[in-house]
Amino acid sequence: GAPQNIAPDASPPLLSSLQVDQLVEASVPDRVLHFVELNQPQLLRAIPVPGRYERVRSALAHARQIGLNGMRDLVNFVCVDLIYGRRMQTEPEIGALLQRVAQSRMTLDEALPLFP
């Protein structure tokens, strides 16, 4: 039955829109990691399982810095980050392309084919 300390007709707690946004945002790394594991598992093989979440979370922080928000862009960015690794921060050509994405001068989909 119902827990002793909650009345059976008690209303569920209501979350503010900020709390809902925070819950959704907190689930993004798990969702992106899941999509990568399903669709591009070879990109994760070299990363020990315990480190995968943090690697995705780090890539997502970079994606957010350049203004990416949609799930497709976030997954694609994480995949590219897994492919290019440190080159994402050190390769001038990649930096220039990401800057154009950040400035809304091109989409990530337009930038990806131009990566070296």
pLDDT of residue 5: 61
Q: What is the CA radius of gyration of the chain?
A: 19
Per-residue pLDDT of 42-84, as tens digits, reads 999 999 999 999 999 999 999 999 999 999 999 999 999 999 9
Number of H helices, E strands in the chain: 6, 0
pLDDT of 25 > 70? The answer is yes
What single letter denotes the amino acid at residue 57?
R
pLDDT above 70 as % of the chain: 92
